[in-house]
Amino acid sequence: MVTLPAADIRRAVRLGLEEDLAQGDITTSALFSTAVPACAEIIAQQSLVVAGLAAAVQTFLAVDPSLRLSVCLRDGERAKNADVLLHIEGDGRSILQAERVALNFLQHLSGIATLTQKFCQAVRGYSVSILDTRKTIPGWRALQKWAVALGGGTSHRRSLGDGILIKDNHLALLHPGRQAIRKACRLAKAHAPSAMQTIVEVESIEEAQRALAGKADIILLDNMTPAMVCRAVNLIDGRAVVEVSGGITLKNVRAMAAAGADRISIGALTHSAPAASLSLVLKPTRASRRRRA
């Protein structure tokens, strides 16, 4: 199972609760002056890949360590509509206070994992990797990339220090003209760690030729049609890894794989994944109902 460092989860949970409970839970405090024994279930309302359950569990426990939680499915597993992901027992006030933050983790991250799995399934049969990008919510990158991995995808760069990616704006600053790509590759290989690969983003077949001349390790074909990708793959002919990005959808991703791409990077995995549909159903326990009677 793909795991996320506990420190990343704790940090995200702390920030989420600080944001939601900075002034307390005025509604719950006004309605309930004493503990209300209750139980709750988090239920899937669609088919999905579970992601963020570890963060949801830590959210409930951070609010109230006395809550009793039973995990029914684990991060990375598939859930069907109406499946129970998590069962919670304890003070209903605590469950209410943790509900929104816990569901935020589960809905957003499960949405990412579910969309990633759809892309991976769409290219099944081809030797191609589905990658995410750095187009993430500030502060949530570790969690979002974790969700991508749970869905079967792979991380591109985790930060600007995690790899060399020469883009159009680098080239615009460096040396306008035909020699910009070769010069950028030469500088990158001279100053970067020796084991680090050089990725060059190109927008035309001509630029792909220049990236080859500069001995780029990975040539990123940006916003090209499948036909253009096929031409570029034939030109590169195994002398560099071929990555495709820009405008990738579930409708065209298989065509990109069929055109010969080795890697397909998709910003939409993290910035546009629809939230998974989940709900928390809460009810008082028998002990609570007897006491009120």
CA distances to 13, 54, 166, 192, 278 from 107, rounded to whole Å, are 15, 13, 34, 39, 6
Contact predicate 271/136, CB 8 Å: yes
Domain spanning 120-271: which superfamily? Aldolase class I (3.20.20.70)
For helices 226-236 and 205-213, the axis angle rounded to 10 degrees is 30
Predicted confidence at residue 292, as pLDDT, reads 46
> Is the full-model pTM beyond 0.85?
yes
In the chain, CATH 3.20.20.70 sits at 120-271
pLDDT computed for residue 184 by the predictor: 93
- The Cα 273–Cα 270 span in angstroms is 6
**Enzyme catalytic residues:** 100, 135, 167, 201, 222
Q: Please measure the distance between the N-terminal and C-terminal CA atoms of the chain and give it in whole angstroms.
A: 47
Cα–chain center distance at 45: 20
**Below-50 pLDDT ranges, the chain:** 290-293
Domain with CATH 3.90.1170.20 in the chain: 6-114+274-292
3-state secondary structure of 41: strand
- Report how far residue 183's alpha carbon sits from residue 60's, in angstroms, rounded to the nearest whole number: 54
Instruction: Fold for 6-114+274-292, please state it.
Output: Aldehyde Oxidoreductase; domain 3 (3.90.1170)
